[in-house]
């Protein structure tokens, strides 16, 4: 199981290689995605907190990348964080999510990206529940519940 030290190491030294990669031009992504999903995933936007029903959805299933459909999170790791965004304790596989240091807005954060297509998902924080202590704070528009 990953912990905060692992996340920082990946952000600073590189993420495990993905099982596959999906590469498309900005124009191709723009043609495939809604304007809102494109803004979040390709332009590193964020959605308003509490703006999605996914925040309160806790039924069994898998959450996949809205861009490339790579499986990212299992509902068994989803929890109510009170932040207004879907939150997870860990990715479905150690190489499903990529990590990048984000020093914007005068703070150090760790950006979470789809490791397959590079879509911006959200951020990872060290204030989640045991046992990982991680909170993957993910934009609902970056996800699709697939089962």
Cα separation, 92 vs 110, in Å, equals: 18
Q: Could you tell me the two tokens for 106?
A: 């005068």
Q: Which of 55, 67, 117, 137 is catalytic?
A: 137
DSSP string, 78-144: EE--SSSS-EESS-SSTTSEEEEEE-GGGS-EEEEEETTT--EEEEEES---TTT--EEEE-GGGEE
Sole residue written with tokens 């045991």: 130
Cα separation, 94 vs 44, in Å, equals: 22
Confirm whether 137 is a catalytic residue. yes
Q: Is the dihedral of CA 53, 56, 61, 65 positive or negative?
A: positive
- Asked if 110 contacts 8 with a C-beta cutoff of 8 angstroms, the reply is yes
- Which are the catalytic amino acids? 137
């Amino acid at each position: 199981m990953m912990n905060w030290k692992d996340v920082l190491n990946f952000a600073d030294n590189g993420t495990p290689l993905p099982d596959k990669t999906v590469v498309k031009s900005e124009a191709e992504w723009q043609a495939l995605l809604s304007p809102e999903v494109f803004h979040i995933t390709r332009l590193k936007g964020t959605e308003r907190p509490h703006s999605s029903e996914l925040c309160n959805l806790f039924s069994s299933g898998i959450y996949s990348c809205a861009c490339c459909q790579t499986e990212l999170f299992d509902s068994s790791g989803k929890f109510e964080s009170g932040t207004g965004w879907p939150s997870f304790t860990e990715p479905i596989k150690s190489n499903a999510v990529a990590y990048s240091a984000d020093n914007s807005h005068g703070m150090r954060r760790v950006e979470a990206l789809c490791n397959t297509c590079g879509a911006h998902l959200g951020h990872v924080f060290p204030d989640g529940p045991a046992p990982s202590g991680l909170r993957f704070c993910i934009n609902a528009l970056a996800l699709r519940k697939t089962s």
